Amino acid sequence: MFLAAAKVGGIVANNESPADFIRDNLLIQTNVIDAAYRAGVKKLLFLGSTCIYPKYAPQPLKEQYLLTGELEPTNEPYAVAKIAGIVMCQSYNRQYGTRFIAAMPTNMYGPNDNFDLKTSHVLPALIRKFHEAKTNGHPYVEVWGTGSPRREFLHADDLADACLFLMKHYEENEIVNIGVGQDISIRELAELIRSIVGYDGRIVYNPSAPDGTPRKLVDVTKIRSMGWSARISLQDGIRSVYEAFRENYTIRA
């Protein structure tokens, strides 16, 4: 069983609905993990998030940094729920002898992403913003924050491949990171997306908006040592997502 179901969102959604994030995610994973045990599921993979790591943890983020410091306040309810899911899997393994493993993917993106500006993550939000600005002739695009935070982005197809790999080859009780091992600043990401979209206007940063965690780069030594690495470059991945977006999304004036 692959447990990927979760309530997710960017800074705006996490800020506006903290109770929904902790409640819904606790309900989802508690019911599914317990049901998997009771139904005799042979193996379960629980997907967490790199939000579980402390806000100021050393970079890159190693698996052993879990629960070593304070969380980022903007997504603490979500992170606490995910940490509970990890501990629940480990506890069921300890008490009931289950084979429940937990993986922590970095920031994801891909076709059929969420492009709603209130609930989406930064990459799909920027794709939509730049495309609509280009289509409607807007002179600038506003980007939340200072542009200085650094983020790592993993294509959904790479994550799917990693999940299959772990299900076949990983049996340990400890968590394992899934990522690409490279990050990029939000400023650099905005410039890259602007180039791919072909938008000629300005980028305006809004420093009054929250930046979130300064940096989130995961250490992927563990999964690479087992023989898995991400294959899709960020530029190629964004280009394919943008093409799918243009084909399927109705642009609003």
- Secondary structure of 126-167 as H, E, C letters: HHHHHHHHHHHCCCEEEEECCCCCEECEEEHHHHHHHHHHHH
* Amino acid 74: pLDDT: 87
* Amino acid 253: pLDDT: 40
- Assign a CATH topology to domain 2-248: Rossmann fold (3.40.50)
Closest CA relative to residue 209, chosen from 152, 109, 142: 142
Chain segment 158-189, per-residue pLDDT in tens: 999 999 999 999 999 999 999 999 999 999 99
Binding residues: 47-50, 82, 121, 129, 144, 151, 211
pTM recorded for the entire structure: 0.91
CA dist list (Å): 115 to 118, 119, 166, 240: 9, 8, 29, 15
Could you write out the DSSP letters of every residue in 178-213? Answer: E--S--EEHHHHHHHHHHHHT--SEEEEETTS---S
CA dist list (Å): 7 to 29, 77, 111, 238: 11, 11, 18, 23
Chain segment 27-85, per-residue pLDDT in tens: 999 999 999 999 999 999 999 999 999 999 999 999 999 999 999 998 899 999 999 99
Q: In the predicted model, what is the mean pLDDT of the chain? A: 95
In this predicted structure, the answer to whether residue 229 has a pLDDT above a threshold of 60 is yes
Chain segment 72-82, per-residue pLDDT in tens: 998 899 999 99
Binding residues for NADP(+): 47-50, 82, 121
Question: Tokens standing for 248?
Answer: 């399927």
Could you say which of 37, 56, 65, 78 is catalytic?
78
Contact call for residues 65 and 57 (beta carbons, < 8 A): yes
* Amino acid 120: pLDDT: 85
Binding residues for substrate: 129, 144, 151, 211
Annotation marks residue 249 as catalytic: no
In this predicted structure, the answer to whether residue 203 has a pLDDT above a threshold of 70 is yes
